[in-house]
Amino acid sequence: MNIKDDVSTARNDIQEMSGLLGDALSQFAKLFQNEVDLAKAELSEKIRTASIAAGLLIGGAILVIPALTMALLALSAALMAAGWSPAMSQLIAAIVAAVIAGLLIAIGLRRLQARKLLPQETIRQFEKDKDAVKEMVR
């Protein structure tokens, strides 16, 4: 072999390598765009879920106030009619109200946990893509 053949072979190898690198970068750009689209879709869904949960909390809070007031007044009146003192009847009614309020708050907070709002599918896909890019680079 002569030097011209070696130079020609080296040029061809460099062109092939640059072509492969260009293809890899192009594939990575497409992959990244797909992941961004997936993240947008998943975050949109999570925001919708959080909005619904917040709406339920607000609606429940608005509707529960008059209902609880009437129920607590009826409970207190029933306890007084049964012979309990007014102070003790009102204390029991207040404890019932506190338990119901605690349950509502716990349910609302559970639905708004950050873990449930994370885009799990996007994170999993990014991990897969990271591994795929590592393999492409090798």
Full 3-state SS string of the chain: CCHHHHHHHHHHHHHHHHHHHHHHHHHHHHHHHHHHHHHHHHHHHHHHHHHHHHHHHHHHHHHHHHHHHHHHHHHHHHHHHCCCCHHHHHHHHHHHHHHHHHHHHHHHHHHCCHHHHCCHHHHHHHHHHHHHHHHHHC
Gap between the Cα atoms of 8 and 10, Å rounded: 5
Give the CA angle between residues 95, 80, 89 to the nearest 5°: 15
pLDDT in the model for residue 20:
74
The sign of the dihedral angle between the CA atoms of 49, 52, 58, 63 is negative
pTM over 0.85, yes/no: no
pLDDT tens-digit profile, the chain (138 residues): 567 666 677 677 777 777 777 787 788 888 888 888 888 888 888 888 889 988 998 998 888 788 878 988 999 999 999 999 999 999 998 898 899 889 988 988 888 776 666 777 777 777 877 777 777 666
pLDDT in the model for residue 117:
66
Buried-exposed string 84-105: b where 16+ CB fall within 10 A, e elsewhere: eeeeebbebbeeebeeeeeeee
Gap between the Cα atoms of 44 and 132, Å rounded: 26
